[in-house]
Amino acid sequence: MKKIISIAILSFVFALPFSAQALETRSIDAAILWLVRGVPRHPVHRSDYRAELVEAFDAAATEADLDVGLLLSIAYHESALRSDARGRIGEIGIMQIHGVATQGADVFTARGQILAGARWLRASIDRCGSIEGGITWYATGYTCAPITPGLRDLVRRRVRLWRDLDRYALGR
């Protein structure tokens, strides 16, 4: 009886994916679906598009040394996770990048847009010395201080969504 139980436990243990990357990938996938809950025709419901986003957000977060939840929060507020989004002054894609942030980036793919946005956010945070300042610089391109009520609200909404993603979708 002990031998059967031991074999069953070992089979179960070795069947589990212990890779942190595998757990993180499933968490990113769950977070993306959590963001678009209630939006039945959103492109992320296509598994191929969602898989592309999961891979891109994971790679961008690693490369830029940023929390994936923060990147998802920015992307959701900027474009609702749509790679075809266009802004009023020429912002492009999921991360709504423009100008300097687009230099050397493949802005025609979701992966390129996310990588460029992550690099720009990292540079903004480094320039300003805080996440809130970096979010403000990312949004404006000229200030680290949220000097207007609108900018303070913008930063507050992105940080709140980041925390909600960590709590509800990423399970941290």
Q: What pLDDT is stored for residue 74 in this prediction?
A: 94
Query: Rounded to two decimals, what is the model's pTM?
Result: 0.79
Pairwise CA distance, residues 119 & 66, whole Å:
9
Torsion of CA 106, 78, 60, 44, to 10 degrees: -90
Pairwise CA distance, residues 66 & 147, whole Å:
25
Pairwise CA distance, residues 38 & 119, whole Å:
31
Q: Which CATH architecture has domain 20-169?
A: Orthogonal Bundle (1.10)
**What is the average per-residue pLDDT within 150-161?**
92
* Whether residue 55 has pLDDT greater than 60: yes
- pLDDT digit string, tens, across residues 58-111: 999 999 999 999 999 999 999 999 888 888 888 888 898 877 666 666 778 889
